[in-house]
Structure 1
């Protein structure tokens, strides 16, 4: 690819795929074998997110390549996604399809995933946080709902939650004419929640969606996207009938204190700063982007004097959750764990480098007095 062609590809990427964490843009431009042709054509190859991006690339290169044929063998992800989930406690999402690639995030048990192309035993997926990355194909499974959640012909048959209903009112051979879809109306809030069921894993992490089936004293029966039913402590579930408060966000985050810092981590076994924010907010029914710079673009600005529990503090490449006042909880790489620090110079946990580098303070939830 010549420098002019490289510039053309970069222009299209800037417009259509400025953030490769959430938009796929993997493009190469190569010259065809010359053979007897003194002006060999060029081949556009790789994978892009949308047909619009593909057409923009072709147009740019055809304008540049007067007298040369531009051929494409581009794959487009748009329209090829397949609804999937995972039945593993947690799975790594990597930047490239091999086990030595960087872990960019993780997906939790029962997560709502969209799977795309395959490569060498890996699948490209979009995560609930919007990330695109690669997981081992063996970690994925079809989303399912338990049969007695729905009106089915055979009460012993599980059916796919993905809508593949045909005109005869059947889905995967099962009568679902009167079926209502499985919907998440609850979320797990405890970092490691044991459940009473015969299925694996034996625990589920905080941030996992569930559907509430029934209650019994201090327990609740739920189902997950995997089709598994389980009985959990009622205190480990937040119902999505209302959004949680900033105090609820803090309560979840505090449960992760002393959790080891792990780049891309999302669980009590290891978590990073924006992962802690994602899990804490997911646990009260609010989905936010995965990374700190993406989270910073949301919410409303607040001043340090008005910080309330659950507000977010942003630093260069870092994010923390306010406890209200000067204290905040965060997954801090320098401490190698989730810890509490303060903006107050007189506080024992004051960190000057953090206090002097705050770039923004944001609120995602209504102020306590506004509820």
Structure 2
């Protein structure tokens, strides 16, 4: 049996293809049966020497090409770990902050600030200025204040975050299921990765102390500081002012430690019950609250356990107190103990956390 092919050859990107030919064989030839030297093929088609060289260059595997491929692979790996595009990421290198201008001009309006070690995405360059986007801010910064495409600078600017995936996650003293529980974290809470992580466990920082969470229930990512707009900075100042009020509430409440618990009472000196204590402490700051632990669950605004700050009202089933900071509650506990501090605040199940200021 004879199979017929029209003879022709073509070369693309240095490869020789057989598009036809005539073979008096019972079967088409295998790859081993037919061998073309690419240079002979080029010459047979009347192509000049320079094309032969180009064909060779296109297909030749050199140490430089191998190294370049490795670099590309390594860069992709590092970008996945860092969560940024390395080539276009800049890190601020300033003592405090650099102004982000509306246009590439020192006299242009400042639209935001880029603080030291905050990152920005570089979108362009003009006359010694980088056009950037960082957070909600777009604008220009002097190129001298930004280190661009530096892996070490990016690494030092970021911090690892462990985002909780479980409904409630126990933070333990040691990397062991048998270790005591330091605190609890809710789903969506972001914990700072710190200390040494071991197999199956991630080291985290809790109120400045070392703790551990199961690696199965957290998602690790990098977090970076971003630019702040003028509006965001003003809002942050207002929030800081509110925080100082909350701290003042907690400090004032602590003055009455050791005073008696009296059911139905509202006197901070002669005796109060749990809700009466909270009500009277806040009354000192001009805030009127109900004398009921259940009703206090609806005052102010709700915050999560991870967001809790001094002065927040911590509500339990049939009980209430004020967060004093450092995982400590100040409250009118019972007739035996009176007004006291209790730690941790999760000594019983928290129903709600409410913020007044």
TM value normalised by structure 2: 0.30
TM value normalised by structure 1: 0.29
